[in-house]
Structure 1
């Protein structure tokens, strides 16, 4: 069908066609006997425009009554079609669009330059305004967005804000900048906001754990940005997740689904939450000064709570209501023990029955049977665990300040004997098990010795007498040594192996008073 563009300068058919409802009014007036001049007066449509439409109806060979019964879109399709030249021009331009869009991505290339080149190549082409109009339409068509439906309790989206907050150190007056972490639930838009010192893995893990505690459970998946603390190697199909971040996610029963690099729409939920946080969380705090990270986080938590309790514009409910009503029942309960960041090492058990952790500059013992074996060491903020072939063979607390952290049962038996011999409490326990006199002798030896090591050897020698003779002989020897105040290893050995060897004794109390004799003068003799 040929075009309905009237060549008169008064017609509007080449630019903006009249509405089909107006055309139907023209047809009705025409069937009622109105002249064309009267129709122009009643409708305000130019006479040449009316003539053009009536000519098109005649060429279509369609009765006017039938046109009145058509839908507006159907009638427009029949009567308003571009002329042949316009159709060719549009087809030619559509074929150029992809190349023009690619050219526009080059540095310093402008639409004005591309249009000038286009007009030189095709003089009858579009003018600059229409050129830009169709180019923009094509660009928008290539950036179509998809509506994502989020299920309750399914995903939490996390990211850092571009803008930072800060607090002031009370002592030095230094302004300490802080990164702000945002976590938002996909279904309810419930948002958690927290400040940390950096985007390093310890701070990212701490911020994530704090956000999950604020939410009150863990969803099925977590969607982070491609920051190095979460994603070691970004890849569209198989990204490599940071081991610590993955371990944290496993602790809370979550799958890690990183957003694609350079594709912010993959995490549009948290991108929008960042914008809202600027307006509803950052802005109300602009006039306040904070003097610690804790103070800043308390204020952020208060503003986030106000935001979550606020009714959303396109919903009848607040974020908190949707979370409590629809999402929280579906969330996985948080573990009883919060996640502790782990460092994992492969170390060799040394000849001294210890592994050495260079970062802490400390030694931790492992059972002596694993000397020379490779063991898997997992370090948290509170514990050091040593594994061999999946079995935990040693556990130590990191709170100890000594360089060597040794458990006695990890040592060979002869090392344990030596270790017991250099421990006062162990020596006293062994002596007490034989009898109180032996314990008293050991305590006197320990207190009278100049050097501890000398005392330990003496005590070991005294206690070993029980193995060479018997406990009873050692006990009786210690009683006599106490009576005559000769509590040394050499004297007790002589008592046990000399006078009392191979004899049985009964322990008797010996009086300390002098015997009654006529040659002994009393105390009154010296008054």
Structure 2
């Protein structure tokens, strides 16, 4: 057997590779290999007394023990790395191992022995055992059955606080957070904070069948709460609730609930907290102690197992963090607005009396009809009854009214003629308030629906020839009279035209007679 211990100790003392090789009788290549393997596996000096040459050889070269039995050696490091990849199983790796044995004319291990040897290796040298859970695959979430409390500074009353728990089954790393409610907003916010604590996102989330997250879960149908599903889509993860009355589907978080109830809630039983932030700070301190606490039956801790064996497999966090949205179903009012929390938002007037869906976020209101977005508004806060109205949502006659300003009124008059401009200026100068004047001009502009620009300009000239104080009522009368007069003149011209026009008349000679002289 090689002098593994001596090689590592001489290297720690700073002896050159040539000197170590000369002292131990090994080649420099072998000495370099031993030093590199020890560095990779974290074996550093000073060494414990029980770390004999045989122990170090089994630690650095576990496959040598198998080679002695005449079997094809197992590359445990490669098996452990491959198991971290999606959809790779021990069954597949054993099949590939058997194919390699046939090519090398070696005797393979049976599947049971293959699994047993890997399990022994992983339990002894690795932070996680990847047979059942892959790193970065699942996050299990639940509410703890026990509760904490916050003391009201004014009344001294104890306010109940609920503990949210999330666990990564592979490394057993956990996250905990206290909230005043178990409603949807608290549920979504706790998920977001859990992802930020872990520094990444798992492929799957396994919750219980609580009503805030799961609307309906049967053997044939799974209906998630729309907000919960939206959050999962934003983080590119999949929600797979545990089966009804099947707690072993999320056994890790169930176990963590009991353990964290002891290490956090019970540990804080004599701690007085006067705010939720103060309580969560205390929870975080106990959580860090729990995650860094050494395992009982193997080396390392949950934090170490996560850093070494699982963190690399998490998907990166999207930016910016998810902002929770709330969905509501409302009916469009006759004034083409919807009422949401005593604020009013417009939609296209074609959807009046239709039932639509509203998505509410902290800063945006989005409106959908048949899953198609038809409008969006910045969310209104403050005094009740505020309106957010878009011009494009209005009927045409409403747009005309809203568009009334001094500038638009004058521009419209200039587009018709000088007499119209004179009348508009007269109206603006006559009324005491601008709003009254614009309402009168709006009534004036509506005449353009029935009369041409020429007729309006002519009527304005006539109005000023009759009176120095024309009104819209006078203008309407003049337009009607002009219209009636124009129609009578047109009929008269047609009658005269019919009387003056004669057809070709054949004379008597045409019929063989004589024309009268």
TM range (shorter): 0.5 to 0.7
Match of 2:176 among 193, 209, 213: 193
Taking structure 1 as the reference length, the TM-score comes to: 0.51
Greater relative contact order: 1 or 2 (C-alpha under 8 angstroms, separation 6 or more)? Answer: 2
Check if 1:206 corresponds to 2:171.
no
Asked if the contact 1:158/1:224 (under 8 Å) is kept, the reply is: yes
Instruction: Tell me the equivalent position of 1:399.
Output: 380
* Structure whose alpha-carbon radius of gyration is higher: 1
Asked if the contact 1:196/1:293 (under 8 Å) is kept, the reply is: yes
Using the TM superposition, give the Cα deviation of residue 434 of structure 1 relative to its aligned residue in structure 2, in angstroms. 11
Matches within 5 A, 1:366-381: 366-371=347-352, 373-381=354-362
Asked if the contact 1:459/1:489 (under 8 Å) is kept, the reply is: no
Using the TM superposition, give the Cα deviation of residue 166 of structure 1 relative to its aligned residue in structure 2, in angstroms. 0.8
Using the TM superposition, give the Cα deviation of residue 456 of structure 1 relative to its aligned residue in structure 2, in angstroms. 4.2
SS across alignment from 1:161 = strand
Matches within 5 A, 1:127-526: 149-235=132-218, 238-357=221-340, 360-371=341-352, 373-400=354-381, 401-421=384-404, 427=406, 453-454=435-436, 456-457=438-439
Using the TM superposition, give the Cα deviation of residue 290 of structure 1 relative to its aligned residue in structure 2, in angstroms. 1.4
Q: Counterparts of 1:447 and 1:244 in 2: how far apart (Å)?
A: 57
Instruction: Tell me the equivalent position of 1:520.
Output: none
Using the TM superposition, give the Cα deviation of residue 353 of structure 1 relative to its aligned residue in structure 2, in angstroms. 2.3
CA gap 1:303/1:390 in 2 versus in 1, 3 angstroms? same
Asked if the contact 1:461/1:489 (under 8 Å) is kept, the reply is: no
Listed one character per residue, the Cα deviations across residues 155-193 of structure 1 (whole Å, up to 9, x for unaligned) are: 011111121001112233221101111001111111110
Using the TM superposition, give the Cα deviation of residue 242 of structure 1 relative to its aligned residue in structure 2, in angstroms. 3.4
Taking structure 2 as the reference length, the TM-score comes to: 0.52
Q: Counterparts of 2:305 and 2:406 in 1: how far apart (Å)?
A: 66
Q: Counterparts of 2:366 and 2:332 in 1: how far apart (Å)?
A: 13
Listed one character per residue, the Cα deviations across residues 110-148 of structure 1 (whole Å, up to 9, x for unaligned) are: xxxxxxxxxxxxxxxxxxxxxxxxxxxxxxxxxxxxx97
**Runs of 4+ in structure 1 over 6 Å off:** 428-435, 445-450, 458-464
CA gap 1:446/1:290 in 2 versus in 1, 3 angstroms? farther
SS across alignment from 2:236 = coil
CA gap 1:372/1:326 in 2 versus in 1, 3 angstroms? same
Gaps of 5+ in 2: 1-129, 415-423, 447-451, 455-468, 472-517
Using the TM superposition, give the Cα deviation of residue 270 of structure 1 relative to its aligned residue in structure 2, in angstroms. 1.0
SS across alignment from 1:150 = coil
Listed one character per residue, the Cα deviations across residues 192-215 of structure 1 (whole Å, up to 9, x for unaligned) are: 100112222222222222212211
SS across alignment from 1:180 = strand
Gaps of 5+ in 1: 1-146, 436-441, 470-487, 491-527
Q: Counterparts of 1:447 and 1:150 in 2: how far apart (Å)?
A: 82
Q: Counterparts of 2:369 and 2:304 in 1: how far apart (Å)?
A: 49
CA gap 1:279/1:388 in 2 versus in 1, 3 angstroms? closer
Using the TM superposition, give the Cα deviation of residue 419 of structure 1 relative to its aligned residue in structure 2, in angstroms. 1.4
Instruction: Tell me the equivalent position of 2:60.
Output: none
Asked if the contact 1:420/1:427 (under 8 Å) is kept, the reply is: no
Q: Counterparts of 2:356 and 2:363 in 1: how far apart (Å)?
A: 19
CA gap 1:162/1:372 in 2 versus in 1, 3 angstroms? closer
Asked if the contact 1:232/1:242 (under 8 Å) is kept, the reply is: yes
- The count of aligned residue pairs is 323
CA gap 1:330/1:433 in 2 versus in 1, 3 angstroms? farther
